[in-house]
Structure 1
Amino acid sequence: MGKLYLMITIVDRKVGRKYMELYKESGQNVMFSSLGAGTAASDILDYMGLEATEKVVFFSMQEESSWLLVKKQLQKKMKIDAPGGGIAFLVPFSSIGGKKALQFLLESQNYQKEEESTLKDTVHELIIVIANQGNIELIMDAARGAGAYGGTVIHARGTGMELAEKFMGVSIAAEKEMIFIVTKKDQKNGIMKAIMENAGMDTKAKSIVFSLPVTDTAGLRLIED
């Protein structure tokens, strides 16, 4: 098995179910979805007689080999390369918080863990926490206690929870909250560890924690100074 990536897919909401079905057919059952909106200017939409488009955003884990197969299906079956067809892209994982989280995301597939991968010369990392609803304060208290300045929350919904429950032996709510925390790279491990210990898979929050490399930032300098 190859390296792991976070695959993000953004498409019109009206075709979201077709994409979800395609991913499930490809064996990608555990996904997280959230609603979004297109950013076309309202005057352009008015001129063309169009309505603002609602988007659906899918988050899932992929390996290099499975991505190549999914990419072909997206191009052939969904015509994603056509104008307005949407976009799917990969972001490399730098670390995943614990064996349980990895098993949950991979649905118990056999995977040989590699060493943590980071982009060279990066100063910051993006920590993403996926947790059951109603546990934001629990998670952020743990994160702040380890040096995090704050986070951003979006509402999401998980799919494939039934299979995950069977594998993990715990009840997992479909309604999720995703917390995004940008932090210095040297603080990342401490923050992830604090979240895992205080709001991890063994708690009511059932938090899944992982991090992605950030190549540059704006807006954090004064806080950190």
Structure 2
Amino acid sequence: MGYEYSSGARELTIDTVFFAVVNKGKANILLQKAQELGAIGGTILLAEGTTRSRFFNTVRPSQAHKEIVIISAGYELCVGLHEMVFQTFKFYKRRKGIAFSIPFKNWDTVEKKPDPSQKPMDDYFALLTIVERGRGVECVYAARKAGARGGTIVHGHGAGIPKDFFFSLNIEPQKDIVIILSKKDTLQAIKESITESLSLANPGNGILFILPVLRTSGLFENRVAEQRGVRS
């Protein structure tokens, strides 16, 4: 069940939450394009990607800073957003960005029988880990050891993600929020590697939660197929 949001004369049914990770300076342009498609608004967060050293088995923050755009959307708008980042922002090319969308539902109501067309695509999941500031790179390194291709780090300062946006969770200042996408076959291994490496079982060391993903754009695994689709 989606959530209906009204803003003046405009009304939007929120079925999904769309995330796009783009290079710095692109977020405002993407948000403008999204509003042309019908999005009512969005949130922009500053972040940084990570890169793996070719000479040393290490992970470090990349030099290129990133921006994350978060947009509430209905299913039809979400499809349009994925098509827009694919065509306009060329997510089928390397280093252009990635996007994914997660289902949004009212947890206080009884759900209807799920629509088979809205099941998570490609068995992808989003792992979000919140740790002390400075441990984000360590988190990505642990994930890479278990098969992840990379991650995006957001520095928490007590603002950005609205309180109660997903559930009651206060993000205290000086935190790293790490976003990693994983297929189902590597999900458990990545979760265990992060949990063990960062001792998340001990109080105060951080939390990790997993969200299902409905659709992805720009991921390495999809890029070859997407490029073929563009050329055909």
The structure with more helix, counted as a fraction of residues: 1
TM-score computed with the length of structure 1 as normaliser = 0.42
TM-score computed with the length of structure 2 as normaliser = 0.41
The structure with more strand, counted as a fraction of residues: 2
